[in-house]
Each structure stands twice: as C-alpha cells, then as structure tokens.
Amino acid sequence: MGILQVQNVNKSFGGLKALNNVNLDIEEGSVHAIIGPNGAGKSTLLNCFVGRLRPDTGTVKFNGRSLLGLSPHEINQVGVARVFQTPEIFSDLTLLENVMIPALAVRDGAFRINGWGRVDAQADIRERAEAMLADVGLADKLTDHSGNLSRGDKRRLELAMCLVQSPKLVLLDEPTAGMSRADTNNTIDLLARMSEQHGVTKIIIEHDMHVVFSLAKRITVFAQGHPIVEGTPEQIKGDPKVKEAYLGG
C-alpha cells in the first residue's frame, strides 16, 4: 500500500471533465513524475491533494487517512507540503523570515510579527531555518530581502520553505518552469540531493522531459484528465500511447 492512494477521483468544472476516474498509488520514498500535455488535469489533481479543490467523487488517502475535507493548513500539518507553480513568498521579508514562517505555522499553527515588523521566533526555529537555507545553497543571503532574488534562488528559497516543515510528501508543480537551462540543472541537482538526504516522497509535475528523466523513478502519463500509462522512465520513453498523447494523434 502506497503513502498516497487516489481512488476513483472525478472533478468537473461546469461541463468540462478535468479529472476522469483517476486512480494512483504512490510508493513511499519514491520520486514519481506526473506528465502530460497542457490541460491534462495535472494541477487540478495536485489541488485536490492539498485541499484547494474538492473532488466531486472519489477518495484521496495519505498514510491511510483521508485528506478530503481537511484545510490546506491541516494537510500541511499531517506532513504534505507543496511547492507552487509560481513562487509564493513574502518579498518584503528576509529569506530567514520566509523560512521561519512555515516552520512556525506547522509547529505552532501560527506565527507572530513583533513591534519591529519582523517575524518573531525562538532560537531553535531560527537555527532550523538557517540550516535549511544552508542546505539549499543560500547561507550567504540569510538577511537579504527575498524580493531581490533571482528566479533560481527564489526556487531554492521555496524548497527550503517546504522542507523546513519536515514533510513526508512533497508536491512540486513544474519546479523548473521558466528557468534557464543552468538554473534547471541546478534545481535537478538540488532535488536529487534532497531525496537522498531527507528521504521524502516526491510527486513532480513537469513538462521538461530532461527533468523528468533525470529525477523520476516512476512516471504516470496523463491525457484528458485520466492516467493513460504508468511505468519506469525506460517503459515510458518507448510507449506509443505517450507519443500519441503529446502529438495529439
């Protein structure tokens, strides 16, 4: 039994069936990619995992426990964290503060801003946040304003914000979207290293096949709201159904 089990999930927007009877079983500790053409329903599925959308029917279970009906915050607290398609960071705050906020939110359910307009945290949270930023290669920018970061560094910051929560499952929606080739390769290295160090299960939605084949051990291909093929990277590479889905044949 996998760490995340999705059964018979359906989701429509008006007359459009964005998810059509989705079944998925994600093995604990794996890096599992979900690929497929634009509009295939990948982000909709992720939104169902994190409480942003509620499926019309079906079940989503994490470690045997239903995620449906939990708030996004409650889902974070059971150990599921997400890296968004567009970075969601507080650009007026420092990198350190941006990492302390999710650490506090998961531990205490809240964070406080003090009279100086800074995030209030005890030494242990600060140390964890510093260590996490060092881990992603941002040790020399702890007190920089996050708004001034390059796109690649913002992604690193976001990963630190995600991993500081000590999640068991990380959901990444197009983690290299809009990046240069150099930043993409840096992100691949970072994600690969994170898998080894932290042993967390990852689900990666990705367009870039270079990223998918560099990281994923297992791949599910979506088309028109439905998983059409699942297998190892080698199996997926040669599958005619995959080519057909991408070429719209």
Please give the residue ranges that form the binding site for ligand ADP (CB under 6 A): 13, 16, 18, 36, 38-44
Residue nearest to Mg ion (CB): 43
Nearer CB in complex with ligand ADP: 54/193: 54
Residues with Cβ within 8 Å of residue 230, at least 6 apart in sequence: 218, 219, 220, 221
Would you count residue 187 as binding Mg ion (CB under 5 A)? Answer: no
Would you count residue 146 as binding Mg ion (CB under 5 A)? Answer: no
CA dist., res. 222 & res. 244, Å (int):
12
Q: How many CB atoms within 10 Å of residue 162? A: 23
Taking the complex as a whole, the smallest distance from the CB of residue 129 to ligand ADP amounts, in Å, to 31
Closest CA to 106 of 85, 86, 129: 129
Taking the complex as a whole, the smallest distance from the CB of residue 128 to Mg ion amounts, in Å, to 31
54 half-sphere exposure, CB direction, 13 A CA radius: 6
Applying CB under 5 A, the span of 21-29, 38-46, 47-55, 188-196 interacting with Mg ion comes to 38-46
Would you count residue 44 as binding Mg ion (CB under 5 A)? Answer: no
Nearer CB in complex with ligand ADP: 18/22: 18
Q: Check if the beta carbon of residue 167 is closer than 8 Å to that of residue 201.
A: no
CA dist., res. 8 & res. 67, Å (int):
14
Q: Check if the beta carbon of residue 200 is closer than 8 Å to that of residue 168.
A: yes
Nearer CB in complex with ligand ADP: 105/177: 177
Nearer CB in complex with Mg ion: 79/225: 225
Identify the H or E element spanning 201: strand 201-205
Nearer CB in complex with Mg ion: 151/193: 151
Taking the complex as a whole, the smallest distance from the CB of residue 43 to ligand ADP amounts, in Å, to 3
Query: Which residues of this protein are in contact with Mg ion, per CB under 5 A?
Result: 43
